[in-house]
């Protein structure tokens, strides 16, 4: 894209993120990393706010653009579509000067070389600046207003009831709290209700580079602690990258990762965090080498739809899908490698009974009572399990069950 002279660097980076996410199916966090590489902290934060907000709210924004612009969004040129979405987000959800949002969207289209589309963009943006906020405010409570796919809303209504579903949607449209795990040394921040988890204003890049902290939500850290591993035990972590939980575990840890690049990243992270007890194995958790057997404990932090981490991953709501068959297969694979009487900790960062309680039930393994250890996080329907919920606990949503083999 040509350098639009009157487009701020933050908005240029935000444009790049939104365009790549919806036109190339790219991941928002990865595009932001490159698009905002040269920006100072303030511009980077603004780029992230605008880009992530636009991606999250795109269903509601598209509804507004179509209602006021009177043309289907899918029929617009991609640069026009992207510029209108960015402008609409700022008009609908941020306190910006309307004329600035209008001008920048127009300039983004011009910088993309689409001079013929400038009058159309200008006209639609002016209509949005007059009518969008009122239109959005008047939408009835539900998945269009809060910009979620219907299936996520329906899943949450089934599992949490109507009010719970609305609360969950609202909570995961807000930026998540910034929490790190303190690996060693001291930290500026406040301790939380999960030992070792500290709430901070921002992640200290130097402390991260030196392996003194690790960015990790309270829900994720809770899952690692609930494994209950002790020195002298052999522990299998079946889906280990990037290594946040693996590097929390005591004992002799074998951390398995399927993808070669992620296995290398896992090794690097274990080294940085000085987790000398962790050995990385690049293998398929469903086809483990025969020598990986006789473990005291296992951790299966399984791939899932991610419905508990939507606040921090704006594009996930549009690409999420439940993975119950894979989860059950991984859980069974781990159980086969654990000694009789040992435990398998099953965790997923999703809020969906099909990927939570139903997997435990299908496994046939008997759960330990984790709710007595962590009463504040007890699952509302079965307190033997733990369930952190964004709208109740202010952290990412994690389901945690510890099962006896």
* Residues belonging to the active site: 349
Which element (helix H / strand E) includes 215? strand 213-215
Note the Cα 396 to chain centre separation in Å: 8
Q: DSSP class of residue 117? A: G
Q: Are 168 and 160 in contact (CB under 8 A)?
A: yes
Count of CB atoms within 10 A of residue 320's CB? 20
In angstroms, the Cα distances linking 79 to 21, 107, 114, 118, 266 are 13, 11, 8, 11, 37
Distance of CA 97 to the CA centre of its chain: 31
Q: What CA–CA distance (Å, rounded) separates 400 from 74?
A: 40
Cα angle 243, 246, 251 (rounded to 5 degrees) comes to: 150
Q: Across the strands, what pairs with 254?
A: 236, 279
Cα 177 to chain centroid, rounded: 12
CB 292 within 8 A of CB 281: yes
Longest dimension (CA), the chain: 71
Number of neighbouring beta carbons within 10 Å of residue 233: 17
Burial class (CB in 10 A: 0-12, 13-18, 19+), 370: buried
d(CA 76, CA 82): 9
Return all residues near 174 (Cβ < 8 A) that are at least 6 apart: 311
**Residue 174 · residue 396 · CB < 8 Å:** no
User: In degrees rounded to 5, what are phi and psi of residue 246?
Assistant: -55, -40
Q: Please report which residue ranges of 94-202 form alpha helices under DSSP H.
A: 98-111, 118-137, 143-146, 150-171
Q: Angle, to 10 degrees, between the axis of helix 118-137 and the axis of helix 58-69?
A: 120
Provide CB contacts within 8 A for 322, sequence distance 6+: 304, 305, 350, 352, 354, 355
């Amino acid at each position: 894209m040509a350098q639009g002279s009157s487009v701020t660097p933050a908005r240029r980076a935000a444009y790049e993120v939104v365009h790549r996410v919806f036109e190339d199916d790219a991941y928002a966090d990865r595009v932001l990393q490159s698009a905002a590489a040269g920006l100072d902290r303030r511009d980077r934060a603004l780029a992230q706010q605008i880009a992530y907000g636009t991606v999250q709210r795109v269903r509601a924004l598209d509804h507004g653009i179509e209602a006021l612009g009177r043309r289907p969004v899918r029929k617009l040129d991609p640069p026009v579509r992207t510029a209108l979405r960015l402008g609409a987000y700022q008009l609908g959800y941020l306190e910006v000067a309307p004329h600035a949002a209008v001008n920048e969207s127009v300039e983004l289209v011009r910088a993309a070389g689409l001079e013929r589309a400038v009058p159309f963009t200008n006209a639609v943006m002016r209509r949005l600046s007059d009518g969008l906020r009122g239109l959005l405010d008047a939408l009835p409570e539900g998945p269009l207003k809060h910009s979620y796919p219907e299936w996520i809303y329906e899943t949450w209504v089934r599992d949490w009831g109507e009010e719970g579903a609305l609360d969950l949607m609202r909570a995961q449209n807000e930026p998540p709290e910034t929490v790190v795990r303190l690996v060693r040394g001291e930290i500026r921040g406040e301790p939380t209700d999960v030992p070792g988890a500290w709430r901070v204003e921002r992640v200290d890049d130097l402390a991260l580079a030196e392996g003194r902290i690790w960015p990790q939500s309270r829900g994720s850290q809770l899952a690692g602690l609930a494994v209950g591993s002790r020195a002298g035990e052999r522990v299998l972590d079946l889906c280990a990258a990037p290594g946040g939980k693996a590097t929390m575990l005591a004992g002799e840890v074998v951390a398995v990762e399927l993808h070669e690049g992620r296995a290398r990243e896992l090794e690097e992270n274990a080294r940085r965090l000085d987790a000398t007890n962790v050995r990385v194995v690049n293998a398929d958790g469903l086809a483990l080498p025969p020598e990986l057997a006789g473990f005291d404990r296992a951790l299966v932090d399984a791939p899932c739809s991610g419905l508990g981490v939507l606040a921090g991953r704006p594009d996930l709501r549009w690409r999420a899908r439940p993975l119950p068959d894979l989860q059950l297969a991984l859980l069974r694979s781990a159980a086969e490698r654990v000694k009789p009487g040992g435990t398998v900790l099953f965790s997923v960062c999703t809020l969906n009974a099909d990927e939570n309680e139903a997997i435990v039930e299908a496994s046939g393994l008997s759960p330990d009572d984790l709710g007595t250890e962590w009463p504040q996080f007890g699952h509302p329907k079965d307190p033997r399990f733990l369930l952190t919920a964004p709208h109740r606990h202010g952290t990412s949503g994690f389901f945690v069950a510890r099962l006896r083999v």
